[in-house]
Amino acid sequence: MSMQSSLDIQARSATTTPSPSVRKSAAVAKLIDESKCIGCKACQVACMEWNDLRDEVGTNVGVYDNPQDLSPNSWTLMRFAEVETAEHNLSWLIRKDGCMHCADPGCLKACPAPGAIVQYSNGIVDFKQENCIGCGNCITGCPFDIPRISKKDNKAYKCTLCSDRVSVGLEPACVKTCPTGAITFGDKEDMVHYAEKRVGELKERGYKAAGMYDPKGVGGTHVMYVLRHADTPEAYSGLPKDPQISTMVSAWKGVFKPLALLGMGLTAALGFFHYVKVGPNEVEEEKEEA
C-alpha cells in the first residue's frame, strides 16, 4: 500500500533475482514502551485516520479490546491482559499489537506471488495488494499471526509502518499521535539505545525483569517493545517468547522447493535418456501373427 520509491527494495516475495537496490537507507524502528502506555487507543484511531480505514462497529463483550482482533481494516490493536505478575500483584498489561516488521519475514518467505510482499532496505515489510493472489500463505508464514485477508477483495492487509509517511521523512501516524510518548520512531540503532536507557530506568524502579523485545529468532524486528516483564512476554496477550519461522514453513519454502523441481526434472530427463538408450519397446511382427 505504499508509495515509497521502489529503488531500495531489499527482498521481494517469490523473486529469485535481486530487486532494485542501488539505494540503501538506514534501518528504522518503532519502539513501543509498554510501561508508558495508558491504553487510550489513540494509536488505533490515528492508524484508521491516516490509512483511511473504518472497521465495522463491533459488540462489547466485556473486555477493553476493541475491536476483538486485527482485521483488514484494523492494522493495530491494543490488547489488554489482566495478569498476576507476582503473588497478590495484579497487573494490567497493555500491548499495542500489529506487524513486527521482522528482519526475516515469514510472510515474505511463504508468499507465492512475485512482488506481493516487499521489504525495503530500511526494514519495513510492506504488502502490495495489487500483486496479492489471496492465498493466505502470509498468515501461514507469520510467527505473530498478523496478516488478515479481506472478505471483500481477497487481499491480505497489515500495518505498513506508514511506509508512505516514512519515505517522506515523517514518523508513523501512531507515533505522532501517542499522547504519553510510549511510541517512538527513528533509526533502529538509536531506538535500541533509547530502549536500553528505558530498561535501565525501569530496573531502578524495581522492575527486575524489564527488557527489550527484539527477537533474534526472526533476525530482530523493526517494531520493538520495552517490557516490564520481558522474562514472560507471553503474559502480554500471547507475545511469543522466541518467535521464529516454523520449521514446516522453512522446509516447505526452503530446501524442499529446489529439491522438488530437481526431482521432477530428473525423472523426466531419466525417461528421455532411457528412450534414447534402449529405444521403443515394440511387439515384434512375428508375434503379432501368432
Partner 1 sequence: MSRTIPRYTEGERRNHWIVAISFVLAALSGLALFHPSLFWLSNLFGGGPWSRILHPYIGIVMFLFFLVTMVRFWKHNRLEARDRQWLAQWRDAISQDEGRLPESGRYNGGQKIVFWLSVICMFVLLVTGILFWRAQFGELFPIWLIRLAALLHALAATIMIMTIIVHVYAAIWVKGSLRAMVRGDVTAAWAKKHHAAWYREMTR
3-state secondary structure 72-100: CCECEEEEEEEEEEECCEEEEEEEEEECC
Check binding of 145 to partner 1 (CB under 8 A): yes
* Binds partner 1 (CB under 8 A): choice among 135, 187, 219, 237: 135
What region does 136 belong to: left with phi over 0, alpha with psi -120 to 50, or beta?
left
Closer by beta carbon to partner 1, 63 or else 259: 259
Check binding of 252 to partner 1 (CB under 8 A): yes
**Residues in contact with partner 1, shown as a per-residue x/- string from 63 to 102 under the rule CB under 8 A:** ----------------------------------------
Q: Which amino acid is at 254?
A: G
Check binding of 18 to partner 1 (CB under 8 A): no
Half-sphere exposure of 151 (CA within 13 A, CB side): 3
- 272 phi, psi to nearest 5 deg: -60, -50
Check binding of 287 to partner 1 (CB under 8 A): yes
The helix (run of H) or strand (run of E) holding residue 261 is helix 256-278
* Binds partner 1 (CB under 8 A): choice among 136, 186, 217, 219: 136
Closer by beta carbon to partner 1, 25 or else 129: 129
Instruction: Quote the CA–CA distance of 113 and 133 in Å, as a whole number.
Output: 7
Q: Among residue numbers 262 through 281, which ones bind partner 1 (CB under 8 A)?
A: 263-264, 267-268, 271, 274-275, 278, 280-281
- Residues near 271 by Cβ (< 8 Å), separated by ≥ 6? none
Q: How far is the CB of 11 from partner 1 (least distance, A)?
A: 12
* Binds partner 1 (CB under 8 A): choice among 40, 53, 83, 133: 133
SS3 assignment, position 255: helix
User: Quick count: other Cβ atoms within 10 Å of Cβ 60?
Assistant: 7
Instruction: Quote the CA–CA distance of 290 and 73 in Å, as a whole number.
Output: 77
Q: Which amino acid is at 12?
A: R
Check binding of 239 to partner 1 (CB under 8 A): no
Instruction: Quote the CA–CA distance of 120 and 135 in Å, as a whole number.
Output: 23
The interface region with partner 1, picked from 37-45, 75-83, 91-99, 248-256 by CB under 8 A, is 248-256
The interface region with partner 1, picked from 33-41, 112-120, 167-175, 198-206 by CB under 8 A, is 112-120
Residues that bind partner 1 (CB under 8 A): 14-16, 112-114, 131, 133-137, 139-140, 145, 149, 154, 246, 248-249, 251-252, 256-257, 260-261, 263-264, 267-268, 271, 274-275, 278, 280-284, 287-290
